[in-house]
Amino acid sequence: MGETLTIRLTVNGEACDRSVEPRLLLSDFLRHELHLTGTHVGCEHGVCGACTVLLNGESVRSCLMFAVQADGAEITTIEGLATPSDGSGIPHPDDADLHPVQAAFREAHGLQCGFCTPGILMTLVPFLEANPDPEEEQIREVLSGHLCRCTGYQNIVKAVRLAAERMRT
Amino acid sequence: MKRVEGLSKLTGRELYVDDLPVDGFLWGATVRSPAARGRIRGIRFDDSVDWSEFTVVDHRDIPGTNAIFLIEEDQPVLAHGRVRHLHEPVLLLAHPRREELRRAVEAVHVDVDAEPPVLDFRLTPDRERIQYGDDNVLKRLRIEKGEVERALAQAPHVIEGVYETGAQEHVYLETQGMLAWEEDGVITIAGSMQCPYYIVEAFEHALGRTPDRIRIIQAATGGGFGGKEEFPSGIALHAALLALKAGRPVKLIYDRSEDLAVTTKRHPSRVRHRTGVDGDGKLLGQDIEVVLDGGAYVTLSPVVLSRSIIHAAGPYACDHVRIDGRAMFTNSPPFGAFRGFGAPQSLFACERHMDRIAAELGIDPVEIRKINLIRDGDSTATGQVIADGADRVQVLDRALDLADYYERRTAHAGFNAAEPTRRRGIGLATFFHGAGFTGSGELFLDSEVHVAGLPDGRIEVRTANVEMGQGTLTVFTSLVCDRLGVPAEAVTIAPADTSLVPNSGPTVASRTVMVVGGLLEKASDDLRTRTGLPADADGRAIREAIREWHRSHPGEPLIGKAKYEQPEHIHWDDETYRGDAYGAYAWGAYVADVEVDLRTFAVSVRDFVAVQEVGRVLHETLARGQIQGGVVQALGWALLEECKWRDGAMENAQLTNYVIPTAGDVPPIRVEFLESPYPHGARGAKGIGELPFDGVAPAVANAVAGATGTDPASVPLTPETVMDLILRQRPPAGSLT
């Protein structure tokens, strides 16, 4: 093991201190150090978007960042998106605890194998906050930073529209 | 019915293999051949690495036969003595730290005395390149109907064409991966897979173990598309060999570059047509030759070739047909199962050729299809009489209608005359796809399913068929609920774990709903009978009867069972390749509307209509999802996805330069179903998963032909290919008088 650096950050609302090697990727840090395995790694070089998380509210590709670059930051991963009301950490199956984007994906069948889904959701949350009533072209544009091999994207676009509608009202 | 699978995937709690928590495990890695062909002279280990920290496995550590069991046993688990393709696995390493492991892989040198490889399946090999039989033909198959030579000799017109398709990588978003450990003498695998029992068989042979000492568990699987049919057997063996030698769990997860470079891909193809027609376009004789690139081992190529030739003559009635098929050995990583399984290749050629015939005779591409489409009572190339009540002309008419085909064609003519730099065209394809295993394949699979009644009155579905995004769990739940009249909460699906579920066959060939779903209905009936209830008993009575049965049979299992029985109407002769190749076919007509930019030569698809007859649609949303996903994956094959080769293997092994469609590249896909129930499928369903792949590339290529006045003969139609087509046809301005 080489030299390590101590980083202090907030992940899904919880403070955490860790010693890490400078070259440890943020994606590996989240997956292997914090065991937040909902952040998926699909290509390791920033193309597929599956590893997207929120860094101070903005979407970033965690495979293109080192963990040390997130020092002092607030990170939200897919695990932090739903807010289980009973404190169990596990969302209720009736969808009531889900973020509107998650609920819309469930309702509109916006996922198949689910591997790309967490990254897409983490891009859409800030996108829909900034663009509450997006045009189809804007939706396709923002989605084009993510690869999905199962759905043909049609239901993903539909789910985004549904989520936008719900978040506006 | 709401999807059963969704919630954990949306909240990040679904555990794919790389997510599985396990203590004290080692990472595994593979050392591969640096050459396409040759003898292994030696293996050198650099002194810079402390090898005592590593677990090292080679062919000598294989306790059973050094072969990955499939149709033949020619593919070694680890190369011994010689290598037959670039990246062939030679040696395995394991270490607790991934970083050390990466360095160690670089520090092993496999020295190979290179021999001349075969790198082009289309060329006749010279003697020093013969490596399989005496001609490098892995499999030869022939279909013969009537007298094709006589029909061609007498035909007023004989039209020829040669068509080629490229390899395609599956790009399941989750790469291949396996976790292996031994527990109480049982070697156990959890991983990404479509066919748990394929791995059991592979382990029996290579590890020399009985099935009771092998346990295979499917972890959540991030897409398969055929790429996780046969390939996982090898990587599972690698993980198991490392775990057995290390005495610790081993995770072997490919990164994307390794996955792209070394895993199976869609078979490249070259198809030649020689077709006799009369002046109206009626098919009089079809002489077809299908050649596939099989790669360096037999793997599944014989059955891919089989499906390819059975679909090669298209959904048309013709009395005189001859189809010759060959799968060729080359020194490439083996090509493998991929959605459509050979049919998309031969149907691309067929449907492109139909448009060529229409163009040469000056008849409408719609009319030539209408004249020739199979009517009930007509027979396919194998002599299978089709009488399923489906109206194939109606499928086509519906697609034309939905696409405003004629209106758009007229509008495009005007657009093209007025526009200097853009050309629009509309193209169509009519096609079919046989569901389930070919011929007597389902009989050999001998699938079995269980529907168990649990002591608390719940019902558990036990099959080896996996969920990988298609919605298997949802459809299975709904089939059993409907059959027994119980609510969804009463039904659970057992994990695809070979220690818990019977062998219901692989999750491939569009067979899961039609075949396995049908067995679930029968097993549900059997469960009801075992509880002593009549067929019309309602769900409440069934759940009470299950509890009552357990009270009177404490500790005993209550299991409704069903095994596959071939429907009586199916007769197939493997020797002559005549008869009922499939129990049922789904039928499709797809229409693509494209625009070609004459400055960039990029093709964009403006609109896509997909109409199909698939028996009964069991879950409209899931079914549409299969069609939309299949169409977009096939658009990638048709327009974008191109493997670049070096020494027989994929060189552009990154998602930066192997490009698949994004949301910005594809149009809305408009899907419509026509339904003509198949009596032997679950609630009338036919297979659906692969069908959408078949009709896309020819519809797009036909549209490009219409837009540009060219005659494309290959896919992918990348800008470079389209540029060649257009410039070859029309020399640059100024060179004409």
Does the ipTM exceed 0.90? yes
- Is pTM beyond 0.95? Reply is yes
Residue A111 lies in a domain: yes
Total domains present in chain A: 2
For B260, which residue in chain A has the nearest alpha carbon? A43
Q: CA of B584: how far to CAs of B47, B351, B527, B653, in Å?
A: 61, 21, 28, 38
Same domain, A123 and A63: no
CATH of the domain at A53: 3.10.20.30
Contact A93/B at CB under 8 A: yes
Residue A135 lies in a domain: yes
Residue A90 lies in a domain: no
Domain coverage including residue A34: 5-80
- pLDDT of res. B440: 87
Residue A95 lies in a domain: no
Same domain, A70 and A135: no
How many A×B Cβ pairs under 8 Å? 170
DSSP sequence for B217-243: EEPB-S--TTTTTSHHHHHHHHHHHHH
Same domain, A125 and A76: no
Residue ranges for chain B with pLDDT beneath 70: 730-737
- pLDDT of res. B734: 47
The mean pLDDT value of chain A amounts to 94
Digit-coded pLDDT (tens) for B458-498? 999 999 999 999 999 999 999 999 999 999 999 999 999 99
- pLDDT of res. B735: 43
B406 closest CA partner among B589, B282, B591, B674 = B591
Same domain, A122 and A68: no
Residues 6+ apart with CB under 8 A from B480: B451, B459, B461, B486, B491, B520, B524
Digit-coded pLDDT (tens) for B545-576? 999 999 999 999 999 999 999 998 899 999 99
Residue A91 lies in a domain: no
Yes or no, beta carbons of B655 and A140 under 8 Å apart? no
Do B572 and B467 form a contact (C-beta atoms < 8 A)? no
Chain A residue numbers touching B255 (CB-CB < 8 A) = 44
Digit-coded pLDDT (tens) for B395-437? 999 999 999 999 999 999 999 999 999 999 999 999 999 999 9
CATH of the domain at A145: 1.10.150.120
Residue A94 lies in a domain: no
Same domain, A105 and A158: yes
Q: Helix %, strand %, coil % for chain B, to 5?
A: 30, 25, 40
Contact A119/B at CB under 8 A: no
Q: Which of A22, A47, A80 is the last residue of a domain?
A: A80
Chain A residue numbers touching B251 (CB-CB < 8 A) = none
Write the residue in B18, B624, B664 that is nearest to A141 by C-beta. B664
State the virtual CA torsion across B664, B666, B667, B672 in degrees, nearest 10. Answer: -140
The mean pLDDT value of chain B amounts to 96
Yes or no, beta carbons of B666 and A153 under 8 Å apart? yes
- pLDDT of res. B730: 61
Yes or no, beta carbons of B663 and A156 under 8 Å apart? yes
Do A49 and A119 form a contact (C-beta atoms < 8 A)? yes
- pLDDT of res. A1: 55
Same domain, A75 and A105: no
- pLDDT of res. B591: 98
Same domain, A68 and A132: no
Do B180 and B239 form a contact (C-beta atoms < 8 A)? yes
- pLDDT of res. A92: 64
Write the residue in B173, B631, B654 that is nearest to A42 by C-beta. B173
Residue A88 lies in a domain: no
Contact A114/B at CB under 8 A: yes
- Residue to mutate among B2, B9, B606, B696, with most A CBs inside 10 A, is B9
In this prediction, residues A70-95 reach a mean pLDDT of 81
B194 closest CA partner among B339, B302, B71, B310 = B339
Same domain, A121 and A67: no
Same domain, A116 and A162: yes
In chain B, the domains with their CATH numbers are: 6-115+170-262 (3.90.1170.50), 269-437+577-729 (3.30.365.10), 441-563 (3.30.365.10)
Residue A164 lies in a domain: yes
Yes or no, beta carbons of B629 and A152 under 8 Å apart? yes
